[in-house]
């Protein structure tokens, strides 16, 4: 588990992990509705993380715990 | 157009790597790439922010350098103690030329060296008592300081001193911020982690100090982040912003003060020049205070115009008009600079190897002068920096991460640039090789290079270096036409 920060730019969600200074675009997010948000997220670099599905944050950027599923550190 | 084709560059990399042992070769190959503008992400082509290979010459610094030297040092009314043996502070003292207005030793302390000067007994018995005493002494001798930061050097981390406890106690006694910064040099692979640690310490100890206090806001408040006022850079940037109608509340951290930093959460927009060293605090302020941040680039007219418009885009028409007015006002001046220097610099090739921002930021300024950047690299960039670099650089140009002394020399021999821009450690090697060189960390004792005023200085300096007649007089004795003539003269 690691802390990540999700923000939005003109192209969509951006993933940022402070601990390792990794910034990347989020190419897909499993759930993206106001009630259910999160799940598996896929990054531009091929990595995948999992965020416990929850109601969408009121404001971005938003820090949340995420679990690494696959690939890139 | 690049000097070499993709295949030639590829061959060059292979040739240079040939001398390394197998394992080293494999490792270093990952840090070199040939640019391809089509790429969205650098991840597959270049590895960065990794530990340097033992046995090679690297130009990197340490986390302490990133924190004390880069982020904390330039805050003028904060005294940064180099806590540990004396060398770290003494050899990094005042070399970066962070200009400030103020009286040194009275209300400004950037270029002084405060250190606990560890001796053997401090290593054996711990240095906390000494630190507490030192802080009291500072308060007595320099009462106008607004705060103190404790920048720990390697030994402090190794012996496990509790600088946090000392800091907390002192802060209470003095009623001023006393910030412990755990930036021991051994943390991380380069100065980059030091920036991060410094940002985190600002986040934890400074940024929310004035939350809830009254502050007279305007809708046009901005803060300049990641401009260290090297040779007056931040001043040259600030006047452009003010002329377009914005109010600059804070400068981080060149010529900045503690109060400015504490007031930053009140601004409308954070302007981020050096992404690498201050993106952390920008992200924090975005999350906590909802302040957006925008990266900008004040090197060279093309990028300045682009950036002014981009910044104005966050504000109303008054500022948008202001931006156009500023552009209109300075365009003739910049055109005159280009008219004067472009004919002298046209077509010259440049290779860059600097810190975490300049290799991509200055590309535009060189292009404005008709020059071409044929190779660029960073000491301590991360992949997000390379993502941003790919777009700026020409196709098939060489990109090198944490380049070793040997590789850099070989690349220079092959690419034969007309100018190299890099740091002091590389400077004299290339001088001896007879290649014009500018020190691009502290602007080679010149500056400012940011903003419109800075561009004039930049263009003049590049011309002065490249077209200096001395480069034709540098043939070594054994290459001279009449062999031995110099030797005879010497004898
Ligand atoms: S690595 Fe350690 S000892 Fe060396 S300069 Fe940095 S803090 Fe000082």
- B114 CB contacts (<8 Å, ≥6 apart)? B79, B80, B81, B82, B89, B134, B138
Q: Are strands B419-422 and B437-439 parallel, antiparallel or unpaired?
A: parallel
Query: Are the beta carbons of B283 and A16 separated by less than 8 Å?
Result: yes
* Catalytic residue (choose from B195, B276, B438, B441): B195
Among B353, B308, B355, B352, smallest CA distance to B334 is for B308
Query: Cβ distance A45 to B41 under 8 Å?
Result: yes
Ligand 1 within 6 A of CB of B46? no
B312-343 pLDDT, tens digit each: 999 999 999 999 999 999 999 999 999 999 99
Distance between CA B137 and CA B377 in Å, rounded? Answer: 44
Interface test with B, best of A4, A21, A27 (most B CBs within 10 A): A21
Helix (H) or strand (E) holding A62: strand A62-70
* Catalytic residue (choose from B62, B63, B198, B236): B62
A29-52 pLDDT, tens digit each: 999 888 899 899 988 878 889 999
> Is B183 part of the annotated catalytic residue set?
no
**Contacts of residue A61 in chain B, CB cutoff 8 Å?**
283, 286-287
User: What angle separates helix B451-466 from helix B301-312, to the nearest 10 degrees?
Assistant: 160
> Is B24 part of the annotated catalytic residue set?
no
pLDDT confidence of residue B485: 53
User: What is the edge-to-edge ordering of all strands in the sheet holding B32-34?
Assistant: B32-34, B398-401, B372-378, B349-354, B419-422, B437-439
- B179 CB contacts (<8 Å, ≥6 apart)? B147, B148, B149, B150, B167, B201, B202, B205, B206
* Catalytic residue (choose from B65, B234, B396, B459): B65
Ligand 1 within 6 A of CB of B63? no
- Chain B: nearest CA to A45, how far in angstroms? 7
- Chain A: nearest CA to B289, how far in angstroms? 10
Q: Is B263 on the interface with A (CB under 8 A)?
A: no
pLDDT confidence of residue A23: 84
pLDDT confidence of residue B1: 42
Query: Are the beta carbons of A18 and B280 separated by less than 8 Å?
Result: yes
pLDDT confidence of residue B93: 87
pLDDT confidence of residue B411: 94
Task: Tell which atom from ligand 1 comes closest to the C-alpha of B61.
Answer: 6
Query: Cβ distance B238 to B224 under 8 Å?
Result: yes
- Positions of chain B with pLDDT lower than 70, given as ranges: 1-3, 482-491
Query: Cβ distance B205 to B286 under 8 Å?
Result: no
Residue A72: pLDDT band (50, 70, 90) is low
Distance between CA B276 and CA B381 in Å, rounded? Answer: 7
pLDDT confidence of residue B201: 96
Strand partners, B97: none
Distance between CA B97 and CA B114 in Å, rounded? Answer: 17
- Chain A: nearest CA to B196, how far in angstroms? 9
Q: Is B290 on the interface with A (CB under 8 A)?
A: yes
- B245 CB contacts (<8 Å, ≥6 apart)? B220, B318, B319, B322
Distance between CA B256 and CA B206 in Å, rounded? Answer: 14
Residue window 170-209, chain B: list those with CB within 8 Å of chain A. 192, 196
Helix (H) or strand (E) holding B128: helix B128-141
């Amino acid at each position: 588990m690691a802390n990540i920060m999700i923000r939005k730019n003109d192209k969509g969600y951006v993933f940022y992990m402070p601990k390792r200074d990794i910034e990347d675009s989020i190419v897909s997010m499993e759930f993206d509705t106001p009630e259910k948000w999160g799940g598996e997220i896929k990054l531009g670099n091929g990595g995948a993380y999992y965020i416990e599905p929850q109601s969408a944050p009121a404001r971005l950027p938003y820090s949340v715990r995420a679990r690494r599923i696959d690939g890139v550190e | 157009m690049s000097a070499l084709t993709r295949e030639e560059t590829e061959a060059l990399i292979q040739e240079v790597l040939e001398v390394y042992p197998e394992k080293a070769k494999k490792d270093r190959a990952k840090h070199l790439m040939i640019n391809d503008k089509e790429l969205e992400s650098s991840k597959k082509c270049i590895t960065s922010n990794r530990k340097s290979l033992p046995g090679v010459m690297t130009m990197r610094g340490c986390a302490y350098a990133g924190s004390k030297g880069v982020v904390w040092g330039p805050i003028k009314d904060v005294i940064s103690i180099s806590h540990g043996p004396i060398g770290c502070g003494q050899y990094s003292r005042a070399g970066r030329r962070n200009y400030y207005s103020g009286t040194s030793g009275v209300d400004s302390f950037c270029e002084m060296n405060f250190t606990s000067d560890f001796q053997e007994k401090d290593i054996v018995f711990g240095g906390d008592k000494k630190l507490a005493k030192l802080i009291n002494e500072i308060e007595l001798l320099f009462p106008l300081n607004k705060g103190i930061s404790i920048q720990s050097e390697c030994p402090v981390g190794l012996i496990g001193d509790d600088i946090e406890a000392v800091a907390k106690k002192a802060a209470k006694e003095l009623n001023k911020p006393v910030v412990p910064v755990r930036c021991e040099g051994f943390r991380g692979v380069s100065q980059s982690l030091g920036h991060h640690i410094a940002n985190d310490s600002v986040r934890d100890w400074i940024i929310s100090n004035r939350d809830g206090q009254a502050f007279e806001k305007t809708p046009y408040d901005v803060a300049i982040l990641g401009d260290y006022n090297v040779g007056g850079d931040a001043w040259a940037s600030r006047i452009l912003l003010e002329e377009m109608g914005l109010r600059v509340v804070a400068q981080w951290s060149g010529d900045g003060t503690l109060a400015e930093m504490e007031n930053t959460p009140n601004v409308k927009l954070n302007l981020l020049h050096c992404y690498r060293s201050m993106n952390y605090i920008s992200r924090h302020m975005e999350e906590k205070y909802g302040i957006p941040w925008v990266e900008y680039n004040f090197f060279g007219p093309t990028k300045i115009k682009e950036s002014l418009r981009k910044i104005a885009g966050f504000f109303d028409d008054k500022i948008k008009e202001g931006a156009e007015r500023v552009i209109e006002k300075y365009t003739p001046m910049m055109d005159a600079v280009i008219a004067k220097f472009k004919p002298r610099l046209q077509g010259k090739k440049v290779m860059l190897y600097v810190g975490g921002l300049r290799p991509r930021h200055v590309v535009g300024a060189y292009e404005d002068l008709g020059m071409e950047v044929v190779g660029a690299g960073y000491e301590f960039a991360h992949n997000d920096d390379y993502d941003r670099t790919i777009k700026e650089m020409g196709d098939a140009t060489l990109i090198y991460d944490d380049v070793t002394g040997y590789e850099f020399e070989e690349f220079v021999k092959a690419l034969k640039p007309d100018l190299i821009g890099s740091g002091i450690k590389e400077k004299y090697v290339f001088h001896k090789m007879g290649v014009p060189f500018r020190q691009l960390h502290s602007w080679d004792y010149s500056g400012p290079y940011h903003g419109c005023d800075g561009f004039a200085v930049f263009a003049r300096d590049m011309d002065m270096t490249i077209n200096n007649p001395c480069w034709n007089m540098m043939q070594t004795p054994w290459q001279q036409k009449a062999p031995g003539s110099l030797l005879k003269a010497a004898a």
